[in-house]
Amino acid sequence: MSRRDLLPGTGPVLNVRQALYRATRDATGGQNAVALTIGMAPDELNKRVSPNNNRPLHPEFLEEIVAATRDPRLLAALVRPAGAVAYVPRAVPATREALTSLSELLHAEGDFVASLHEGAADKVWLPHEVEELRYHANRVIGHVLGIVAGAEMAMLEHVVSGEVGHG
């Protein structure tokens, strides 16, 4: 298996084949670990995800790589053509401090969105304005989903420990 990176310096927006390569290469343990996880020879995995190759990619293969890596770049590459956005929430404790932080973030992001009045006023949105808006939207959504994931984890811990109630 090649140790040479075939995608040096690629940006954050990848196509599916590039994202598969990057997800497997950057996973903990690299492509060898991913190959062992999905029951494939490391050399075969390397050939299938190579950005310079055009071997067919079967849906089951994609599912296995997504499950093994949970790589957000791969998820984004899979849903971007449909105009969708994929999120993998990172759980944060759903505490009073987290909710206060979310409130402050929403206030700051609201101020930012209000500052984009030029794009809305002339009905001409420039690519950098749209990208900046998307960045801030993703930031808010990610923060909210992280708190929800933290609350769900806390709820499950209480259910498992038998402490169900209105705490």
Higher-scoring residue by pLDDT: 145, 163? 145
CB 32 within 8 A of CB 42: yes
Predicted TM-score (pTM) of this structure:
0.61
Residue 167 has pLDDT above 60, yes or no: no
Domain map of the chain by residue range? 16-82, 96-161
Architecture field, domain 16-82: Orthogonal Bundle (1.10)
Q: Show the DSSP H helices in the chain as ranges.
A: 16-26, 30-38, 42-49, 59-69, 72-79, 96-115, 117-121, 127-161
DSSP state of 125: -
Residues 59-96: pLDDT tens digits? 999 999 999 999 988 998 999 889 888 877 778 888 89
Residue 10's pLDDT is what?
57
**The two three-digit tokens of residue 119, written as one number:** 């794009």
Q: Is the pLDDT of residue 152 over 60?
A: yes
* CA pair distance 90, 129, nearest whole angstrom: 27
Q: Which of 136, 143, 139, 15 is nearest to 76 (CA)?
A: 15
Rounded CA gap, 69 and 102, in Å? 28
